[in-house]
Amino acid sequence: MPNNGVQESRESGSGASDVLAFDLGASSGRALLGRLVDGKIEVEELHRFPNDPVQVGGRLHWDILRLYHEIKQGLLKAKHRGIALKSMAIDSWAVDFGFLGKDGELIGNPYHYRDRHTEGAMESVLERIPATVIFARTGIQFLPFNTIYQLDALKQANSPLLSNGVRLLMIPDLLRYFLTGKAHNEFTNATTTQLFNPLTGDWDVELLRLLDLERSWFGDVLKPGQLAGRLQPSVCEELGVPSIPVYAVAEHDTGSAVAAVPATEKSFAYLSCGTWSLMGTEVDKPVMNELAQKLNFTNEGGVADTFRLLKNIMGLWIIQECRREWEREGKSLSFPELVRMANEASPFAAFIDPDDELFLPPGDMPSRIAEYCLRTGQQTPETVGAIARTIFESLALKYRYVLELTERLSGQRFGGLHMVGGGIQNELLCQWTANAIGKQVWAGPAEGSAIGNLAVQWIAQGDFADIWEARRVIRESFPVKTYDPEDGQRWHEAYVAFVKVTGIVSV
C-alpha cells in the first residue's frame, strides 16, 4: 500500500484524521491506517496476519483469540509509530458468531461457516417454516451456512452453547466486545443472519419463536457510524494506549466494500471480489418479491440506510483451495504464477458452476473439479494451468449470468461493472470479466473493505458529509483501471456453452 504521503504528513505534525480499520477476511486480516491529507485519502498497512481456521475434533473453528491478539498487535504498532488514533473499527465476514455466558466470557471457539455441522439444517428448517415465509420476513437468500441454520443445527444437537449462552455476537461484534466490554450487534451483519426483519428494523420475533430461539440472545442493533464504545481500562493498561473510540461501521466486509465503490451515479453494479464474489447493486428499499426469492437474491444491510441487493458467488475460494492442495503435493505456486499458467492454457476447454455445492467445503478441489467435469460429460482439465483457466473463465461467465439477473430484478441497465477487493489484482480475471459481460470493468480500490471501513468512521466524525462525498474522495484518491471488452463473439459463444454445460437457467 502507498505510505509515503502518510509518513510525510505525519512529520509535518498533522494527524487529526488518523483512523484505523481492522479488515478481517476469510483467509487473512489487516490493520489499515487512514488519513485525510489535502482532500484525499492516504492509507498505510500497519499490520497483516493470516486467518487460518483450525480443525479439531472433527470440527472447523475460527481461531478467535488469535484474531483478537492480532488486533492488539495492530494497536501496538500504531502506538510504537507515535500515531494518535482518532478512532478504530472492525469489519469481517458474515453469518458466524460466538456466545457469551452469564459471566460475560466466551463459550467455546466459534464454528467456521464451512463446518459440516449444518449439513441438512436448511432443509430441516424449511420443512417446518416455508421458504416463502422466511424470505418475506427477512429478504435474505437461502445459503446452508446462514446463522439461522447454524443455530437450528445447534438446537437439534442439544448444544451446550445454547443452554449456557446468554448473548450472541457476530464475529466483529465479539472482537469489539473484547476491546470495549460493550455488547452490541451491528445492522449490516445482523441482516445476514436471516433472522432480522428489514421492514421492522429489528430481529424477527416470529421466526425466533418458531425456531425456539431466545430474543434476549440478540440484543440491540447499531447502525454503521454509531459509536459502540471505547477501549476499556484493562486493554488500555495492557497495551499502554488511550481509550480510543470504537465505532460500528458496515461490519459485514462486503458492506464496507460497497461503501468504497467509487461510483459517480446512484445506479451502479458492483462485484466485491475475494474469497467470495458478491455481485449486485445498492437500493433504497429491500426487494422482497417472488422473483427475488426464486432467483435466490439477498437484501443485506448497507450504509446510510441502504440495502445491498446481491447474490453470492463462490469466488476465488476454489483456486485458493486448489493452491492449498498443490502445496500439500509439494508444488509451491504463487497466485501470479497461477494466473500466468492459466493464460497459457487452452481457452474454454471445460466449465464449472462455481456455486455447485461440491465446491463449498474445504478439501481436494482439483479432484472435485475433475468429478464435476466427468459428471457433466466434459474433458477433465489435467494440468495446473488448465484447472486454473477453467476456474477463472467459469467465474467470469458466472458474473455475466448474475449481472443479467441483477439488471432484471432491479429494473436497471448498467453501463459497466465496478470491481473492488483483493481479487482485482488478478488482471486476467478483470479482463475476462469485461469480455464475458461485454461491458467495461472499472477495477479499484483493491482494499475496498478497509477503505469503506475508514470512510464510515470519517462520516461519523463529520470529515465527510455523507457516503457520496466519501465515494468522490475515494475516486480521487485511488487508481481505477478500466478494462474494455474484447473478443465479444467468442465469449458469447462460450457463455452459451457454459449455460448449457452447467444447467443454470434464468427463472
Q: CB-based burial of residue 177 (10 Å sphere; 0-12 exposed, 13-18 middle, 19+ buried)?
A: buried
364 as an active site residue: the answer is: no
E-strand ranges in 109-197 read 167-170, 185-186, 196-197
Q: What end-to-end distance do the CA atoms of the chain give, in Å?
A: 43
- In the block, cell 447499531 appears at 222
Q: CB-based burial of residue 212 (10 Å sphere; 0-12 exposed, 13-18 middle, 19+ buried)?
A: exposed
Q: Which of 18, 173, 253, 463 is catalytic?
A: 253
Contacts of 503 (CB under 8 A, 6+ apart): 353, 376
Measured on CA atoms in the order 427, 422, 78, 226, is the torsion positive or negative?
positive
301/290 Cα distance (integer angstroms) = 20
Long-range contacts of 227-231 (CB under 8 A, 24+ apart): 227/460, 228/176, 228/180, 228/182, 228/184, 228/186, 229/176, 229/179, 229/180, 229/181, 229/182, 229/184, 230/180, 231/179, 231/180
344/332 Cα distance (integer angstroms) = 18
Per the structure block, which three cell numbers stand in for 360? 463449498
Q: Which residues participate in catalysis according to the annotation? A: 253
